[in-house]
């Protein structure tokens, strides 16, 4: 039976961020993941998680200046110093909160600048991975679909798998977000099988709506079976935008036989 972590960037989003931790627990989740926790001091987060009895299993490096179109800095030539600050903040939060996975955000890059950006990305990830390893943390690299994030540096799982080989550090893994992979590449079950050794986390949502995973073009019951078959037993991240109140939409779990 698969287990799940509630991504509180999207789930329970009708209430303040810290209250989403309690809402997740009340709905039956003892693991949450998030995008950007940095506006909250570590002691506050730690206290809220402990009080709720919830573990924070994943977080992202900061996005940078979102208003200017930034979405991560790891693959931005000339921004290495800013990335280093984002990275050390992420690692500090992860270590203090006992979070084992950090998604390192790559960045939005014009097509003609991609080759140099990929060199920067690989170098930054390699340096970060060595520090992460000493802290027992896994780095996740996630391809984002170009419909939602045009010009994001990495948009395909196959390319990420090649980049992971290029980085050459064992604690750098693929974040296989089924929503993005379906939009860009499809052939989901074969791709899960092919990338099984480098998959470090999985997230799900319906395609194309990004709502609860009980509608649209992906047969999630078959995906759960495929994950079981490849030996993926970590919590699956619920990173969908609920159709209404999160609690009212959780019936999909029973419908798909995972509750």
Ligand X SMILES: O=C(O)C(=O)[C@H](O)CO
Q: How many CB atoms lie within 10 A of CB 83?
A: 26
- Residues 6 or more apart from 165 whose CB is under 8 A from it? none
How far are the Cα atoms of 21, 61, 65, 73, 105 from residue 82, in angstroms, in the given order?
29, 11, 11, 7, 13
Among this protein's residues, is 33 annotated catalytic? no
Please give the structure tokens belonging to residue 29: 């989740």
Which residue among the candidates 33, 70, 80, 142 is catalytic per the annotation?
A: 142
Q: Could you tell me the smallest distance in angstroms from the CB atom of residue 142 to ligand X?
A: 5
> Which of the choices ligand X, Mg ion, none does residue 144 contact, using the CB cut-off of 5 to 8 A by kind?
ligand X
How far are the Cα atoms of 24, 91, 167, 205 from residue 160, in angstroms, in the given order?
31, 22, 10, 20
Residue nearest Mg ion (C-beta atom): 177
Q: Could you tell me the smallest distance in angstroms from the CB atom of residue 51 to ligand X?
A: 25
The smaller minimum CB distance to ligand X, of residues 157 and 203, is found at: 203
Distance separating alpha carbons of residues 226 and 212, to the nearest angstrom:
19
> Which of the choices ligand X, Mg ion, none does residue 60 contact, using the CB cut-off of 5 to 8 A by kind?
ligand X
How far are the Cα atoms of 37, 232, 234 from residue 94, in angstroms, in the given order?
10, 22, 18
The smaller minimum CB distance to Mg ion, of residues 212 and 239, is found at: 239
Q: Of residues 157, 171, 203, 246, which one binds Mg ion by CB under 5 A?
A: 203
- Determine, following the binding rule CB under 5 A, whether residue 177 of this chain makes contact with Mg ion: yes
> Which of the choices ligand X, Mg ion, none does residue 211 contact, using the CB cut-off of 5 to 8 A by kind?
none
Q: Could you tell me the smallest distance in angstroms from the CB atom of residue 147 to ligand X?
A: 12
- Three-class SS state of 235: coil
> Which of the choices Mg ion, ligand X, none does residue 86 contact, using the CB cut-off of 5 to 8 A by kind?
none
Q: How many CB atoms lie within 10 A of CB 87?
A: 23
- Cα-Cα-Cα-Cα dihedral sign, residues 68, 70, 73, 76: negative
Q: Could you tell me the smallest distance in angstroms from the CB atom of residue 154 to ligand X?
A: 11
CB 48 within 8 A of CB 25: no
Q: Could you tell me the smallest distance in angstroms from the CB atom of residue 240 to ligand X?
A: 10
- Determine, following the binding rule CB under 5 A, whether residue 57 of this chain makes contact with Mg ion: no
Q: How many CB atoms lie within 10 A of CB 245?
A: 11
- Determine, following the binding rule CB under 5 A, whether residue 212 of this chain makes contact with Mg ion: no
Burial class of 22 by CB neighbour count within 10 A (0 to 12, 13 to 18, 19+):
middle
List of residues contacting ligand X (CB under 6 A):
35, 60, 103, 142, 144, 177, 180, 203, 239
Q: Considering CB under 5 A, how many residues would be counted as binding Mg ion?
A: 3
Binding piece for Mg ion, criterion CB under 5 A, among 55-63, 111-119, 124-132, 199-207 = 199-207
> Which of the choices ligand X, Mg ion, none does residue 212 contact, using the CB cut-off of 5 to 8 A by kind?
none
Among this protein's residues, is 142 annotated catalytic? yes
Structural element, H or E, at residue 240 = none
Which residues of the chain form contacts with Mg ion (CB under 5 A)? 177, 203, 239
Which sequence positions are flagged as catalytic? 142, 239
């Amino acid at each position: 039976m698969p287990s799940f972590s509630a991504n509180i960037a999207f789930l329970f989003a009708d209430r303040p961020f810290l209250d989403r931790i309690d809402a997740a627990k009340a709905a039956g989740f003892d693991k949450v993941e998030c995008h950007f926790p940095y506006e909250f001091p570590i002691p506050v987060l730690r206290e809220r998680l402990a009080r709720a009895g919830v573990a924070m299993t994943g977080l992202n490096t900061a996005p940078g200046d979102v208003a200017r179109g930034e979405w991560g800095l790891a693959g931005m030539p000339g921004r290495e110093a800013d990335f280093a600050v984002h990275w050390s903040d992420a690692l500090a939060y992860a270590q203090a909160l006992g979070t084992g996975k950090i998604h390192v955000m790559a960045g939005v890059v014009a097509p003609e600048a991609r080759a140099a950006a990929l060199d920067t990305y690989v170098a930054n990830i390699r340096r970060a991975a060595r520090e992460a390893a000493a802290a027992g943390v896994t780095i996740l690299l996630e391809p984002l679909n170009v419909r939602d994030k045009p010009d994001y540096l990495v948009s395909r799982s196959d390319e990420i798998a090649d980049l992971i080989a290029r980085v050459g550090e064992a604690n750098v893994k693929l974040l296989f977000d089924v929503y993005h992979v379906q939009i860009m590449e499809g052939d989901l079950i074969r791709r899960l099988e092919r990338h099984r050794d480098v998959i470090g986390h999985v997230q799900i949502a319906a395609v194309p709506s990004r709502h609860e995973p009980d509608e649209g073009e992906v047969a999630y019951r078959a995906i759960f079976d495929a994950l079981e078959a490849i030996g993926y037993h970590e919590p699956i991240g619920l990173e969908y935008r609920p159709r209404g109140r999160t609690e009212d939409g959780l019936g999909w779990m029973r419908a798909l036989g995972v509750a």
